[in-house]
C-alpha cells in the first residue's frame, strides 16, 4: 500500500507555460489543438518505475510508460504491450505474446528482451517495489546479488516472454498491470540522464520536463487505442491556485485532488464522483516511544474523535472503523471495541506531522491539538512540506503522520503486507509473528475462500494492534472542465485513469472563448 497525500507546492512566478520543444510537433493537429492541462499536487518523486512510491509518479508512469498489461476502470486487466497471455495449468508459468506493433517513443520495437530487462530491474537491489515481484523464480538471488540474471524470466523469441514463478500466485497479473511493472528500452535505460527525459512506449511521450511542468504529446505510433488528446501538460500547483485557475478555464483536470464536492470550483465544470479505495490515517510508528506500547496506541486511538474530524473536513466521506478500505476483505462497518487498559495518558511528547500543502492543514493541526490536549496528551502538530515529509517517512523517523493510504492492486494481499516485519515499506515498524505467519499462509494458499479467511484474520490482527488512527474513507469528487469528455475515474486509483479515452473538445473551448487564450500560452 502506497500513500498519496493531497499536497501542494507554493511556487512563485507561475502562470505561464514553458512549452519549448512543442515547436517540433509531429502533426498539425498537435499544433492547432489547445493542450489538456492537468494540475498535479507534486512533481513525481521518481521517474523510474521501480522507485515509484507516490501518486504523482504513478500518474506520470501510466501516461508515458506501458507494461505488459493495464488495469480496466473497474479492477479488471486488459492487454497493453502483451496482446495475449496464458498461464500453465499448475499456475507457475505465464507466457506473454508481445504486440508486434508496440514501439518505444524513439521508434524502436518493443521486444521480449526489453521486458526481461525491465522486470529484472524490478527485482534488483535498487528496486523499492521488490516485494511485489519476489515470487518470480530467481528473484531473491538476483536481488541479493547471488545471480546475474533472473532465472524465471525467459525470452522465448523476440515477441514472447515467459515468466516462471516460485509458487502459484494469481495476483501476479495485477502486479504486472500496475504502475511499477513498466517496460523500458533495455539499451537505453541504464544510460546516465535517461530519466531526465525518459522514453517509454505509452500513449504520451515526454516533450520537456522542468521544475513545475511536464509537457507531453500524443505518441502517434502508439500501438493501442489512439489517444484523443494531442498535447498534455502536467502542472504543479497548490490546491487553492489550481482551483482558482480551473474556475476560469485555464486548468482542465483537478482529479489529483479527491475533493468533497463542496468546493467553489464545482459551481462550474463537471463533478465526477467515485468511490476510492483509500483510508486516511494517522500512522503510528512503533519504533518511537510512546507508540511502542499497544495500550498507549489504543488510548491514543480512542482519544481522537474521528467522526467529528470527518464531519468537519470531509463530510461526504465514509466513516473508517478499521484500516481496510471499503470493498476489501476485513473492511469494518461498525466501531471496534478494544479493551482500554491504560487510564493515564503518557507524558511523552507526541508529534503529529501533517503535509503542509494539504488544503486546511492548519485547521486540521488545530483540531488535533485541541482534541488531544484536552484529553491530557502532550501533543505537538507540525505541518511539514511534502518533500521533507517523504524523506522522513522513508527514514522511518516520523512518530505520527497523517497520510492517505491507497490500494496498489485489487487484491487484499497488497493491502496488508505493509505490516510484514521484513517489508522495507513497513511504516509502523511493527514486528508481529502472527501477522507474518498470516501473510505467509495467505501467499501460499490458492483456495480463494481459505485465502480470504486468512486475510480477514490478518485485517483483524492489524486493527487489534492499533497501528493507525483511521480517520475516514474518502468518496472522491473529481473536478473536470466542462469541455473535457470521456473522463472515467479508475475505481482502484485515480492514477490509473485511462487518458487515452479522454478528449478536450476544442469547439467547446472556442465557444467559451478559451481557445485563443490557451493557444496564446505558447
Partner 1 sequence: MEPASVHEVISFKDFVSNRMSSYQMGIPLVTAIFISLLTAVIILKQFANSNQTFVESIAPHVAALLETQDRPEIQRFIRAVSTKQGAEIEVVYRDEIIASTLGLNRIGERIENDIESLSFLDLKLNNGRLLSLANAERGKGWNESKAQIGIYLNTDSIFYVSVGVSIGAFILSFLVINWIIKKVVRESQKSLEHLGLLEKAIRQFQRSFETSEIPSFPISELESIRKAFLDTQNKLLESNDKIAKSKAKEMASYAYKNLIHDLHVPVTALRNHLKIMGLERATQKDRENALKRIVDLAEQVLKQVKSARSHLGLEISLKNDDLVESVRRATENAHMASFDKPKVEIRTTFPEFQILKAHDPILLGRALSNLVTNAVEAALSCVQVELLPYERGVSIKVSDDGKGMDQEEVSLHLQGRGRSTKTERMGIGLASANHIVRSHGGKIIYQNSPLGGACFEVRLEGDLV
Nine cell digits for residue 269: 465544470
Least Å distance between CB 188 and partner 1? 36
Is 501 near partner 1 (CB under 8 A)?
A: no
> Which one of 79, 91, 326, 486 is in contact with partner 1 (CB under 8 A)?
326
Residue 455 three-state SS: helix
Question: For partner 1, how many residues bind (rule: CB under 8 A)?
Answer: 30
Nearest to partner 1 of 70, 215 (CB atom): 70
Least Å distance between CB 340 and partner 1? 24
> Which one of 146, 449, 513, 520 is in contact with partner 1 (CB under 8 A)?
449
Least Å distance between CB 266 and partner 1? 15
Is 489 near partner 1 (CB under 8 A)?
A: yes
Is 491 near partner 1 (CB under 8 A)?
A: yes
Least Å distance between CB 493 and partner 1? 12
Is 274 near partner 1 (CB under 8 A)?
A: yes
Least Å distance between CB 273 and partner 1? 5
Nearest to partner 1 of 85, 195 (CB atom): 85
Nearest to partner 1 of 24, 333 (CB atom): 333
CA distances from 71 to 49, 66, 157, 408, 511 (A): 16, 11, 26, 11, 35
Least Å distance between CB 135 and partner 1? 20
Rounded to a whole number of angstroms, the distance between the first and last alpha carbons of the chain is 39
Is 275 near partner 1 (CB under 8 A)?
A: yes
Least Å distance between CB 337 and partner 1? 16
Torsion angles phi and psi, residue 231, rounded to 5: -135, 145
Contact stretch for partner 1 (CB under 8 A) within 114-122, 179-187, 338-346, 445-453 = 445-453
Nearest to partner 1 of 203, 489 (CB atom): 489
Angle ∠(243,244,245) on CA atoms, nearest 5: 90
Nearest to partner 1 of 452, 506 (CB atom): 452
Contact stretch for partner 1 (CB under 8 A) within 137-145, 183-191, 198-206, 267-275 = 267-275
Whether the CA torsion 256, 261, 266, 270 is positive or negative: it is positive
Is 100 near partner 1 (CB under 8 A)?
A: no
CA distances from 306 to 309, 345, 346 (A): 5, 19, 21
> Which one of 328, 479, 496, 499 is in contact with partner 1 (CB under 8 A)?
328
Distance CA 330, CA 188 (A): 44
Least Å distance between CB 247 and partner 1? 23
Least Å distance between CB 507 and partner 1? 26
Nine cell digits for residue 450: 481459505
Residue 386 three-state SS: helix
Least Å distance between CB 318 and partner 1? 8
Contact stretch for partner 1 (CB under 8 A) within 36-44, 200-208, 226-234, 324-332 = 324-332
Nearest to partner 1 of 429, 486 (CB atom): 486
Contact stretch for partner 1 (CB under 8 A) within 52-60, 320-328, 426-434, 511-519 = 320-328
Is 330 near partner 1 (CB under 8 A)?
A: yes
Is 258 near partner 1 (CB under 8 A)?
A: no
Least Å distance between CB 504 and partner 1? 21
CA distances from 236 to 208, 210, 240 (A): 14, 10, 12
DSSP string, 302-363: HHS-HHHHHHHH-TTSEE-SSSSPTTSTT---S---------S---SEEEEEEETTSTTHHH
Is 441 near partner 1 (CB under 8 A)?
A: no
Distance CA 120, CA 100 (A): 22
Is 173 near partner 1 (CB under 8 A)?
A: no
Interacting residues with partner 1 between 395 and 424 (CB under 8 A)? 410-412
Q: SS3 letters for 402-420?
A: EEEEECCCCCCHHHHHHHC
CB-based contact 415:133 (threshold 8 Å): no
Q: SS3 letters for 168-230?
A: CCCCHHHHHHCCCCECCCCCCCCCCCHHHCCCCCCCEEEEEECCCEEEEEECCCCCCCCCCCC
Least Å distance between CB 409 and partner 1? 9
Interacting residues with partner 1 between 460 and 479 (CB under 8 A)? 475
Distance CA 183, CA 215 (A): 21
Residue 334: asked if its preceding bond is cis (omega within 30°), the reply is: no
Interacting residues with partner 1 between 63 and 92 (CB under 8 A)? 72-76
CA distances from 74 to 193, 309, 335, 488, 490 (A): 36, 30, 29, 10, 6
Nine cell digits for residue 460: 483483524
Residues near partner 1, by CB under 8 A = 72-76, 272-275, 318, 326-331, 333, 410-412, 448-449, 452-453, 456, 475, 488-489, 491-492
Amino acid at each position: 500500500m502506497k500513500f498519496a497525500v493531497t499536497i501542494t507546492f507554493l511556487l512563485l512566478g507561475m502562470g505561464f507555460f514553458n512549452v519549448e520543444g512543442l515547436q517540433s510537433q509531429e502533426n498539425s493537429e498537435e499544433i492547432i489543438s489547445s493542450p489538456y492541462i492537468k494540475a498535479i499536487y507534486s512533481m513525481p518523486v521518481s521517474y523510474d518505475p521501480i522507485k515509484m512510491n507516490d501518486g504523482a509518479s504513478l500518474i506520470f508512469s501510466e501516461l508515458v510508460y506501458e507494461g505488459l498489461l493495464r488495469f480496466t476502470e473497474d479492477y479488471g486487466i486488459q492487454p497493453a504491450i502483451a496482446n495475449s497471455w496464458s498461464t500453465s495449468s499448475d499456475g507457475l508459468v505465464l507466457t506473454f505474446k508481445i504486440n508486434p506493433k508496440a514501439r518505444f517513443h524513439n521508434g524502436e520495437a518493443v521486444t521480449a528482451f526489453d521486458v526481461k530487462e525491465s522486470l529484472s530491474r524490478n527485482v534488483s537491489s535498487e528496486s523499492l517495489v521488490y516485494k511485489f515481484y519476489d515470487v518470480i523464480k530467481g528473484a531473491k538471488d538476483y536481488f541479493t546479488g547471488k545471480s546475474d540474471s533472473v532465472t524465471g524470466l525467459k525470452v522465448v523469441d523476440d515477441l514472447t516472454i515467459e515468466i516462471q514463478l516460485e509458487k502459484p500466485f494469481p495476483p501476479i497479473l495485477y502486479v504486472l498491470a500496475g504502475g511499477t511493472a513498466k517496460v523500458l528500452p533495455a539499451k537505453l535505460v541504464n544510460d546516465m540522464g535517461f530519466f531526465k527525459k525518459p522514453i517509454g512506449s505509452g500513449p504520451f511521450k515526454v516533450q520537456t520536463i522542468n521544475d513545475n511542468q511536464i509537457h507531453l504529446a500524443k505518441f502517434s505510433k502508439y500501438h493501442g487505442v489512439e489517444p484523443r488528446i494531442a498535447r498534455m501538460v502536467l502542472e504543479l500547483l497548490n490546491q487553492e491556485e489550481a482551483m482558482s485557475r480551473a474556475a476560469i478555464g485555464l486548468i482542465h483536470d483537478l482529479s489529483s485532488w479527491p475533493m468533497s464536492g463542496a468546493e467553489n470550483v464545482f459551481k462550474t465544470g463537471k463533478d465526477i464522483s467515485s468511490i476510492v479505495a483509500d483510508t486516511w490515517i494517522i500512522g503510528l510508528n512503533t519504533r518511537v516511544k510512546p507508540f511502542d506500547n499497544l495500550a498507549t496506541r489504543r488510548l491514543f486511538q480512542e482519544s481522537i474523535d474521528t467522526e467529528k474530524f470527518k464531519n468537519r473536513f470531509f463530510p461526504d466521506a465514509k466513516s473508517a472503523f478499521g484500516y481496510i478500505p471499503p470493498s476489501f476483505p476485513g473492511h469494518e462497518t461498525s466501531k471496534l471495541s478494544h479493551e482500554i487498559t491504560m487510564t493515564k495518558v503518557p507524558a511523552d511528547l507526541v508529534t503529529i506531522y501533517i503535509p503542509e500543502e494539504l488544503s486546511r492543514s492548519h485547521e486540521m493541526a488545530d483540531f488535533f491539538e485541541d482534541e488531544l490536549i484536552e484529553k491530557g496528551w502532550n501533543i505537538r502538530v507540525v505541518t511539514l512540506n511534502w518533500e521533507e515529509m517523504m524523506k522522513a517517512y522513508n527514514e522511518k523517523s516520523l512518530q505520527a503522520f497523517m497520510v492517505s493510504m491507497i490500494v496498489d492492486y485489487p487484491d487484499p494481499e497488497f493491502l496488508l503486507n505493509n505490516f510484514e516485519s521484513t517489508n522495507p515499506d513497513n511504516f509502523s515498524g511493527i514486528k508481529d509473528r502472527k501477522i507474518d505467519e498470516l501473510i505467509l499462509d495467505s501467499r501460499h494458499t490458492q483456495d480463494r475462500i481459505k485465502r480470504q479467511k486468512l486475510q480477514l484474520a490478518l485485517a483483524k490482527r492489524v486493527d487489534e494492534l492499533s497501528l493507525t488512527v483511521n480517520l475516514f474513507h474518502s468518496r472522491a469528487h473529481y473536478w473536470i472542465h466542462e469541455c473535457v469528455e470521456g473522463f472515467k475515474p479508475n475505481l482502484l486509483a485515480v492514477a490509473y485513469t485511462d487518458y487515452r479515452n479522454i478528449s478536450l473538445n476544442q469547439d467547446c473551448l472556442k465557444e467559451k472563448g478559451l481557445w485563443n487564450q490557451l493557444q496564446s500560452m505558447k
